[in-house]
Chains A and B, each alone.
Chain A
Amino acid sequence: MTAIAHFIAITLYLAAAALAATPFARPVAAPVRGVVTLLGIGVLAHAAALAAYVLRVGQLPLTGLGPSLSFAGFVLAATLLVVELAARDVTLTLVAAPLAAIPTLVANLMGMVPGVEPAGARGAWLVAHIALSFLGIAAFGTAAAAGLMYLVEHRDLKSRRFGAIYRFFPPLATLDRVNHVAAVAGWLGLTLGVVLAVTYSLAYRELSVLKVIWATGAWLAVSGIALGRVVGGWQARRAAIYSSISFAAVVLLYVAFRVAETNGRGRFL
């Protein structure tokens, strides 16, 4: 059931991205309702997959690589859905829907094998930490997607190309605003997630060096962009470049640690 629902969700995320890309094939605006509907049903299917997992193993999909990747994909897709419903613009689907589909696909391929989840107060603490951290990462990813699109459109506008990107991407100011809100939301989520992680480690004397390094790196990256925007007055291209590159670096660091841990002894996220 989980695998089938995952497959449906992945298919719908990719279909939403394909539908959002129709303006590049034919000069008509992307059908907002169609894209949002596909994405919405995909999110529902994904929720059903996670619910089936919870019923089957009796714990939340927050521990173990497969479950946590699937949950990350779900949070990203749900965030995207909320942003698009609010903005009535579906161009972000082009980047963010594949971003949600990829971890879900990896989760499905690797199998939804649960990790060890502590019970009682420790369990609740851990759940809150992981959920907030995922929300923070999803918002950071949204900021990066908006930033990447800003850079692509910025390049087209500077070089005076008036093709499909000119016609169907939202205005630069809109992408800049999405980047701003998502960066601040990402910082809030990750900050709370990290605070919970630190207090958890202190309380239960559990520490994973790689997790600390990665979490610190991710938090510093998102703090940099949030502080730059709110305090330093960063906006437009500078904010777009920083958020895209820093998010890519965080993802690469994650992959590097995963590879290192597979060859080593421990388990990293």
Chain B
Amino acid sequence: MAVIVLGVSHHGAPLDVRERLAFRPAEVVPALERLRSVAGVREGVLLSTCNRTELYLVEGEDECAPAAWELLAERLGAEASGYGYVHRDREAAAHLFRVAAGMDSMVVGEAQIHGQVRDAWEASRRASGAVLNRLFQSALLTGGRVRSETTLGHGALSISSAAVQLSKKIFGSLAGRRAMVLGAGEMAELALASLQHEGVRAAVVANRTFERAVVLAAQYGATAVHYDDAWDALADVDLLLCSTASPRPVVSAERVRTAVARRGDRPLCILDIAMPRDVDPAVAKLDNVFLYDMDDLQAVVSANLQRRHGELPAAEGVIGEEVEKFWQWVAGLAAVPVLTQFRDEMNRMRERELQQAMRRLGDLSPEQRAVVEHFSQSLMNKFLHEPSVRLRAAAANGRGLGVVDAARYLFALDERAAAAEPVSRPATRDEEAGE
């Protein structure tokens, strides 16, 4: 048995390739069913997002990668493997864990992928099985661990969210804070939407073109004012968002000083996202005024991004631990066929010896025969219980393959397997527990 992942992602495939390889939810199960029928795949999950299309497969007897690449090539209309990658076993598990934790995302640490991995697993449930179910469960758990144990997902990564982050650093909660918007451009609208999402109330919108101010004000439940009347309102707001198209600064230190004098000690945060800048840099020197321009917001974003990358080694530590746990579980599965074969062999031996014993005992009543049969069955189960438990435990704690091989050798299972007839019997509790 091998776990493999193959696919394409933003690392190696351009957008037009990724677009063509994207699968709708309704297409997932048919594609996986096809692989199961054609390539003997035991289990499959298909993860398709805007940045990646990946097939997670549990191989049967034959290698299934060629058939999977063929499936993707048909969809792409060209050879797909040149854009992609294949990982096997531990590397496949580590890859999925990194994906679920956002470590492989275009924006490192983004949280959306966690839900996308969960959705992909849900959409593929009919084609997945014990191994992939366990793998995806572990991946979601690992994603959660990475998020809680590192700061990989912390910090704003867009200009508008950096504006929110900076404002929160001054005011704490932004709920109920009042904002004035100067200029009604697209950037102002974006930043205002982010701030409003945090509870900021757009109080005043001022623009050179009054009609545009009216439209934006109506959209955000604010009051539109003429440009020249905006300065009086500055004393009453907590945030000033500047985004005019003026070629020179329109917010002078003098205008802000007058407003600040009427504000008492209340801080005023000015976010100047205009290019060229709307606010005279001298405004930053005024008491209780915090002025940030595009460079500052970009610096916040860059610092956050750099810090996220700095957290990758810590996140890799979590990935390593979880891969080890998952692989121990997989190794435990290797004991199941050996246990089955071992029991079958012992059962055959028991039946042979029982028949001989019955012949020697002569005429026995049905009750007596049942007692002897029960005795032989019970004795065999008791003999096999401890070795079965220990074999499974050894396999699960990482010593699996050596112990499994030793069991095969000691009981000559490989030689006997070729000659033996399969014995029909119900699965024992030990075997069922191994899925």
Which A residues form the contact surface with B (CB < 8 A)? 27-29, 157-158, 160, 162-163, 166-167, 170-174, 233-239
Say which size band chain B's interface belongs to: 20 to 34
| Residue numbers in B under 8 Å from A27 (CB-CB) | 151, 154, 307, 310-311
Given A28-B151, A29-B151, A237-B265 in contact, is the A160-B168 Cβ separation under 8 Å? no
The answer to whether A162 touches B288, judged by C-beta atoms less than 8 angstroms apart, is no
Tell me, in angstroms, the Cα distance from A174 to B171 when the chains sit together.
8
Tell me, in angstroms, the Cα distance from A70 to B353 when the chains sit together.
85
The answer to whether B299 touches A162, judged by C-beta atoms less than 8 angstroms apart, is yes
Tell me, in angstroms, the Cα distance from A163 to B307 when the chains sit together.
10
The answer to whether A172 touches B299, judged by C-beta atoms less than 8 angstroms apart, is no
The answer to whether B265 touches A158, judged by C-beta atoms less than 8 angstroms apart, is no
Tell me, in angstroms, the Cα distance from A236 to B150 when the chains sit together.
33
B420 within 8 A of A: no
Given A27-B151, A171-B170, A172-B169 in contact, is the A237-B288 Cβ separation under 8 Å? yes
Which A residue sits closest to B285, measured CB to CB? A158
Which A residue sits closest to B308, measured CB to CB? A27
The answer to whether B296 touches A173, judged by C-beta atoms less than 8 angstroms apart, is no
The answer to whether B264 touches A233, judged by C-beta atoms less than 8 angstroms apart, is yes
The answer to whether A171 touches B168, judged by C-beta atoms less than 8 angstroms apart, is yes
Residue from A158, A172, A234, A236 in contact with B284 in the complex, judged by beta carbons closer than 8 Å: A158
Report, nearest first, the 5 A-B pairs whose CB atoms are least far apart: A173-B172, A171-B172, A235-B265, A236-B265, A27-B307
Nearest chain B CB to A131's CB is how many angstroms away?
33
Tell me, in angstroms, the Cα distance from A27 to B266 when the chains sit together.
31
Which B residue sits closest to A229, measured CB to CB? B265
Residue among A157, A160, A166 with the highest chain B CB neighbour number at 10 A: A160
B231 within 8 A of A: no
B220 within 8 A of A: no
| Residue numbers in A under 8 Å from B405 (CB-CB) | none
Residue from A167, A173, A234 in contact with B170 in the complex, judged by beta carbons closer than 8 Å: A173
The answer to whether A162 touches B267, judged by C-beta atoms less than 8 angstroms apart, is no
- List, sorted by A's number, 15 A–B pairs whose CB atoms are closer than 8 Å: A27-B151, A27-B310, A28-B150, A28-B151, A157-B170, A160-B292, A160-B299, A162-B300, A163-B303, A166-B169, A171-B171, A172-B169, A172-B170, A173-B172, A239-B265
| Residue numbers in B under 8 Å from A172 (CB-CB) | 169-172, 267
The answer to whether B169 touches A157, judged by C-beta atoms less than 8 angstroms apart, is yes
Which B residue sits closest to A177, measured CB to CB? B172
| Residue numbers in A under 8 Å from B267 (CB-CB) | 172, 236
Interface string of B258-271 (1 = CB under 8 A from A): 00000011110000
Nearest chain B CB to A264's CB is how many angstroms away?
43
Tell me, in angstroms, the Cα distance from A162 to B172 when the chains sit together.
16
The answer to whether B299 touches A238, judged by C-beta atoms less than 8 angstroms apart, is no
| Residue numbers in B under 8 Å from A170 (CB-CB) | 172
A-facing residues in B298-323 (Cβ within 8 Å): 299-300, 303, 307, 310-311
The answer to whether B287 touches A237, judged by C-beta atoms less than 8 angstroms apart, is yes
Residue among A162, A163, A234, A235 with the highest chain B CB neighbour number at 10 A: A162
Known: A27-B310, A163-B303, A233-B264. 13 other contacts (CB 8 A): A27-B151, A27-B307, A29-B151, A157-B169, A157-B170, A162-B303, A166-B169, A171-B168, A172-B170, A235-B264, A235-B265, A235-B266, A236-B267
A-facing residues in B136-159 (Cβ within 8 Å): 150-151, 154-155
Tell me, in angstroms, the Cα distance from A167 to B311 when the chains sit together.
15
Tell me, in angstroms, the Cα distance from A158 to B173 when the chains sit together.
19
Given A236-B265, A238-B265 in contact, is the A160-B296 Cβ separation under 8 Å? yes
Nearest chain A CB to B34's CB is how many angstroms away?
46
The answer to whether A171 touches B169, judged by C-beta atoms less than 8 angstroms apart, is yes
| Residue numbers in A under 8 Å from B327 (CB-CB) | none
Tell me, in angstroms, the Cα distance from A27 to B150 when the chains sit together.
8
B342 within 8 A of A: no
Nearest chain B CB to A96's CB is how many angstroms away?
20
Nearest chain A CB to B300's CB is how many angstroms away?
5
| Residue numbers in B under 8 Å from A166 (CB-CB) | 169
| Residue numbers in B under 8 Å from A233 (CB-CB) | 264-265
Tell me, in angstroms, the Cα distance from A233 to B263 when the chains sit together.
10
| Residue numbers in A under 8 Å from B265 (CB-CB) | 233-239
B83 within 8 A of A: no
Nearest chain A CB to B214's CB is how many angstroms away?
32
Residue among A163, A173, A239 with the highest chain B CB neighbour number at 10 A: A173
Tell me, in angstroms, the Cα distance from A235 to B290 when the chains sit together.
16
Residue among A171, A174, A237, A239 with the highest chain B CB neighbour number at 10 A: A171
Tell me, in angstroms, the Cα distance from A259 to B154 when the chains sit together.
50
| Residue numbers in A under 8 Å from B288 (CB-CB) | 236-237
